Amino acid sequence: MMYTSKLPSKWKGTCQEGQDFNSSLCNSKLIGARYFDKVNSARDTQGHGTHTSSTAAGNYVEGASYFGYANGVARGMAPRARVAMYKVIWDEGRYASDVLAGMDQAVADGGSLVLASWIPNGYTATVGTNTLLSSEGFHLISGTSMACPHASGVAALLRGAHREWSHAAIRSAMMTTANELDVGRNFTAASPLAMGAGHVVPNKAMDPGLVYDAAPQDYVSLLCSMNFTRNQIMTITRSNGYDCSESSSLDLNYPSFVAFYDKNVTTGVMLTHRFRRVVTNVGGAGARYEVKVVAPEGVKVTVWPKSLAFEKKNEQRDYNVEIVYPSDGKGRVLYGSIVWVEESGKHAVRSPIVVAPTSAGK
């Protein structure tokens, strides 16, 4: 399938020439390539960047097979997405400054989506709708780098289907509609530490019902609550349009709940953690949701209000969560969930709950 449309008008990137790589290698699919080192080029020497980009946004390839087996059409998660490569890791190693420079440049070039995955051997793979941060090095058991392009491809599809959604809304849709059942454990629920919010279900993520959205100022408020200085915040945001004048909070509007406790606190002492969340109705008008709570063992979870009514699309409602739990000298990690279920049964918006000791139980 060929691209007939012109490149997006916002695209400001380039195809940077280097060793064994000239500008003619870019095309209507690979629309840009850069590298962040004094020598070499954007060419992928070990195949990892090519692998992840193909998984995320590979075009349709007829007659693909594995040595004649499983013949058919191969394609990435978002085959119509365009790709730009940013090589930031080398055979000699990597520097965080190069990785950050690659991300900054991807944004400056007009990339629509930049997602990064850090894998156990220290390498990075970043993928997206118009932007792919290439990496070097491949480790067969590094599942994160293989999962990242699948998730990124789904994000690209959602971005194409819902141009009005923020990146936070896309993340929320993927998390709250995920399937937490583990095929390898006879379809019992896996813990959030095993698979996060769960296994992504693209079709459900396309229509999640409710999303947990967040604006840039929400992230700045988080930094403020972590005592970042104004100069540090400006280094991250590259703008003086955000400040700490608004109320700061560690309670980001995120689609999960984590209550930490100090393992050294006397066993049995009851601890309380409160959250506030805002959900946006991206489903139909006249929707009503009821809450279903699956509390972790020995933990009391209270949600109020217990129902949320939406008269129209994009309407927002807030709710509160209180988690009361005993300190545990054993340092156990406990799991549960909060699910907002639409009365019609069409949508179920699930958020994991984790109660865990701080600092891995030091």
pLDDT value of residue 240 = 81
Whether 1-161 shares its CATH topology with 255-361 is answered no
50-73 per-position pLDDT tens digit: 888 899 999 999 999 989 898 999
The domain spans of the chain are: 1-161, 255-361
Among 170, 169, 190, smallest CA distance to 180 is for 190
pLDDT value of residue 89 = 83
Phi, then psi, of 349 in degrees rounded to 5 = -105, 105
- List, in sequence order, every residue forming a beta bridge with 320; answer none if it has no partner: 276, 304
Q: Which fold has domain 1-161?
A: Rossmann fold (3.40.50)
The Cα–Cα gap between 211 and 304 comes to 18
- pLDDT value at 135 more than 60: no
The more confidently predicted of residues 118 and 257 is 257
pLDDT value of residue 134 = 38
pLDDT value of residue 122 = 42
Range of lowest pLDDT (98-112, 255-269, 341-355): 255-269
- pLDDT value at 130 more than 70: no
- Which of 100-104, 192-196, 239-243, 276-280 is most confident? 276-280
Find the mean pLDDT for residues 211-217: 94
pTM of the model: 0.82
Assign domain 255-361 to its CATH architecture: Sandwich (2.60)
Compute the residue count for the chain. 362
- Confidence at 237, pLDDT banded by 50, 70, 90: confident
- pLDDT value at 118 more than 90: no
151-199 per-position pLDDT tens digit: 999 999 999 899 999 999 999 999 999 998 776 666 667 777 778 888 8
Q: Taking all residues of the chain, what is their mean pLDDT, rounded to a whole number? A: 84
